[in-house]
Structure 1
Amino acid sequence: MLDFSSSLVIAVAATFFAAGVVKGITGMGLPTLAMGVLGVLISPLAAASLLIVPSFVTNIWQLLAGPSFGALALRLWPMMLAIAVGTVGGSSVLAGGGAMLTTGALGAALILYAAFTLFARQLRVPTNREPWLSPAVGTATGIVTGATGVFVMPAVPYLQALGLERDELVQALGLSFTVSTVALTAGLIWQGVFEVDHLFASVLAIAPALAGMWVGQIIRSRVSPSAFRRWFLICLLALGAKMLADAMI
């Protein structure tokens, strides 16, 4: 159980506000940034528990705001099913691993995502490869999610490679993140490590996350989202490197 001191409450609220700002500007990044920062302050397991409710609320909002939920769900259901199964199975790592193991895994996931997004070329997935690639990518994403609490690899690059329209891509990301959040919750409950006190604190984190999204949407009209996203990824890369180095010392 976490000791919710005033300093920790302020740090958690500030983290979710900042993560909400990032999501408001770029359309993603709330769970990734929140896990990265909170994983330095508390254990990744506790951070994942705090992430669940604000992540679910903001991602379901993103999911339902798009135009093509039915078509995307029909196209991507094998991937979503594989994410759910992989996450529940992989949650044993987050639940049972030592703090150094889970912190190192989280740092490695952040480095991989930030480096790939910054430096890799844009991929394209032919439609005829989706029937076997979607379940494979979903399973890999689920295992990473269950082990680290980070939902993005390799789901985000894969969805970006499907050639979806901008609104469809945002909605597909919302679908993937929502399924990951629900599956991670189920996995932590199944492992017997999800605490009700964390759920209450997670509910309280909704307000700063939504406030941050609102501020981020205002900022988006005044800054270059691509430039902001680039600096965000650089900071994420540095944060992941620090976590991985701390775990190896």
Structure 2
Amino acid sequence: MPGYSLPLIALIITTFFAAGIVKGVTGMGLPTVAMGVLGSTLSPLGAATLLLVPSFVTNVWQLFAGPKLGMLIRRLWPMLLTIIIGTIVGSMVLTGGNTKLTTIGLGIALVFYAAYTLLAKALRISHRLEPWLSPVIGLVTGLVTGATGVFVIPAVPYIQSLGLERDDLVQALGLSFTVSTIALAIGLFWHGATPIGNLLTSALAVVPALLGMVAGQWIRIRISPQLFRRLFLIFLLLLGLEMAVHGLR
């Protein structure tokens, strides 16, 4: 991992292993954990470049875990298209060099996602609303992704509100995250913000991420996923608050 000190290398390995555990238990959360932890240590831009390859590999794994990929693409393509557009536009913020602004934005995104998921009641979106709501959700998700590197707001609550069966929901989330990762990579490449050294480190980070996913799947059958998820969200909430407050100082 060129250009990194041993303590930082240890932090990157530990972070992606922990993020993999979260994804193995809950089915999501790897980019969010990586952005939250590494974004507070490096910068949101540095963290975003490191998560590209692990996020892509683990989300493609999740994407092809179900049998209805074609159906989900046909249903969600308006959201996916605007995610790409919004992410490329929003990446101007992440690559703009204002670390204070991106740190505050990342912290706010983590707080919003954690608080909403912990406190809000599950929504149910009518199928009639999808044709016009999906592009809006995709565009907002893309702008947030491009500006902060966090893929989950508001795409995850929206997808969860569509009434999909569990396996289809997991696959739909994998589809959304995969498209967001590709779009973020395009945005970062477009603005020349992906050094070769970071990409090499990102590729090497796949190993601890996959090991973490395996460990997470082992943990999932031995503890309550609901309790684990609640503790994970509280951690994200506190981390996001710390980042937002630190950025305002």
2:103 pairs with 1:122: no
Please give the alpha-carbon distance, in whole angstroms, between the structure 2 residues aligned to 1:180 and 1:127: 23
- The equivalent of 2:106 in structure 1 is 106
Amino acid at match of 1:129: L
Amino acid at match of 1:210: L
Residue pair 2:3, 2:197 contacting (<8 A) in 1 also: no
- The equivalent of 2:170 in structure 1 is 170
* Structure 1 gaps, min length 5: none
2:220 pairs with 1:223: no
Question: How do 1:71-90 and structure 2 match up within 5 A?
Answer: 71-90=71-90
Please report the RMSD computed on the Cα atoms of aligned residues, expressed in angstroms: 1.0
| Deviation by residue 1:120-172 (Cα, 9 ceiling, x = unmatched) | 11101000000000000000000000000000000000000000000000000
- The equivalent of 2:96 in structure 1 is 96
Amino acid at match of 1:242: E
Amino acid at match of 1:175: L
Amino acid at match of 2:67: P
Provide TM-score, normalisation by structure 1: 0.99
2:26 pairs with 1:26: yes
- The equivalent of 1:200 in structure 2 is 200
Please give the alpha-carbon distance, in whole angstroms, between the structure 2 residues aligned to 1:37 and 1:12: 9
Give the deviation of 1:3 after TM superposition: 3.4
User: Aligned pair count?
Assistant: 249
| Deviation by residue 1:210-246 (Cα, 9 ceiling, x = unmatched) | 0000000000000000110001000100000000000
Please give the alpha-carbon distance, in whole angstroms, between the structure 2 residues aligned to 1:115 and 1:36: 15
2:135 pairs with 1:135: yes
Please give the alpha-carbon distance, in whole angstroms, between the structure 1 residues aligned to 2:45 and 2:54: 16
Give the deviation of 1:97 after TM superposition: 4.1
* Structure 2 gaps, min length 5: none
| Deviation by residue 1:47-92 (Cα, 9 ceiling, x = unmatched) | 0000000000000000011111000000000100000000001000
Amino acid at match of 1:46: G
Please give the alpha-carbon distance, in whole angstroms, between the structure 2 residues aligned to 1:5 and 1:56: 25
The structure 1 segments of at least 4 consecutive aligned residues displaced by more than 4 Å after TM superposition are none
Amino acid at match of 2:248: M
Amino acid at match of 2:164: L
Percent of counterpart pairs with the same letter?
A: 61
| Deviation by residue 1:26-55 (Cα, 9 ceiling, x = unmatched) | 000000011000011101001000000000
